[in-house]
Chain A
Amino acid sequence: MAAGPMKMRALLGQGYTDIRVLMNHPMETGQRKDPDGKLVPMHFIQNLTVKVNGRTVVDAQISQAVSRNPVFSFRLKGGAKGDKIEVSWLDNQGESNSTEAAVA
């Protein structure tokens, strides 16, 4: 399964901005077997970056222990409507994706 689209929303809360991002990704551990009994190779996101108006604020390294189609929430100090949030990921097979949203 190839990586699919991402979804994100960023909402201004009381003194912080809440970011929720969904990624389509199989997050294969390398331990699961397909119906023919063959091991499915490892395929998982390794790096995740959150940028606000072009500046990196969260730099995450993750393992195959993160569930399939990962959903992450992060929080930013303060924030303002219209701030541009960008989230990007890179997996162990060199695939990558990114998405952008404005704080609402």
Chain B
Amino acid sequence: MNRLRRTLLAALALGLARPLAALAAWNKDAFGAKTPGDALKSLGVAGATPSKEVVIDAPEIAENGAVVPIEVSSAVPGTTALIVVIEKNPFPLASRFDFRDGALPYAKLNVKMGETSDIRVLAEAAGKYYSATKEVKVTIGGCGG
């Protein structure tokens, strides 16, 4: 009786642990996608509404594509994630940030850009997506070499 109970509890614990593990795992399909559309599809993004509340701070011209500083944030209430897509990179999805209670939807990072491209940022709030784009001109690409 006790053993059965333990087995059932263990099975239940395993079942609960799995979705959590999946959440933290690296999304191989999305990051391996070669077009922005495929990457977003793999992330489960069906469509996004353009929004001025999604802010991208990036240089107009980046002399060195190996280090392009970008700052992304969202003022959309209830933003829980920010997705950064560099449209013309060989693998367009650059990052996905999930913010839990306690963190502001904000990130600053340096990215590589192979060529001049639009950077598209999507904010997720209550299952809906809001987006903004900004073009960055690259003088020297930063992916090959």
A-side residues, CB < 8 A to B, are 16, 27, 29, 31-33, 46-47, 49-50, 52, 55-68, 70-77, 92
Of A52, A71, A92, which one neighbours B109 at CB under 8 angstroms?
A71
| Known pairs A32-B145, A61-B26, A71-B109; A76 contacts B66 (CB<8 A) | no
**Set of chain A residues within 8 Å of B109, measured between Cβ atoms:** 62, 66-67, 70-73
CB-based contact A66/B95 at 8 Å: yes
CB-based contact A61/B106 at 8 Å: no
Assess whether B102 is interfacial by the CB under 8 Å rule.
Answer: yes
CB-based contact A70/B110 at 8 Å: yes
Which residue of B has the minimal Cβ distance to A90?
Answer: B26
CB-based contact A52/B102 at 8 Å: yes
Q: What is the minimal beta-carbon distance from A90 to any residue of chain B, in angstroms?
A: 8
Chain A interface mostly: strand
CB-based contact B27/A77 at 8 Å: no
**Set of chain B residues within 8 Å of A49, measured between Cβ atoms:** 24
CB-based contact B112/A65 at 8 Å: yes
**Set of chain A residues within 8 Å of B93, measured between Cβ atoms:** 63
CB-based contact A68/B66 at 8 Å: yes
Residues of chain B in range 92-140 having any CB-CB distance to chain A below 8 Å: 93-104, 106-113
CB-based contact A76/B103 at 8 Å: yes
**Set of chain B residues within 8 Å of A61, measured between Cβ atoms:** 26-27, 31, 95-96
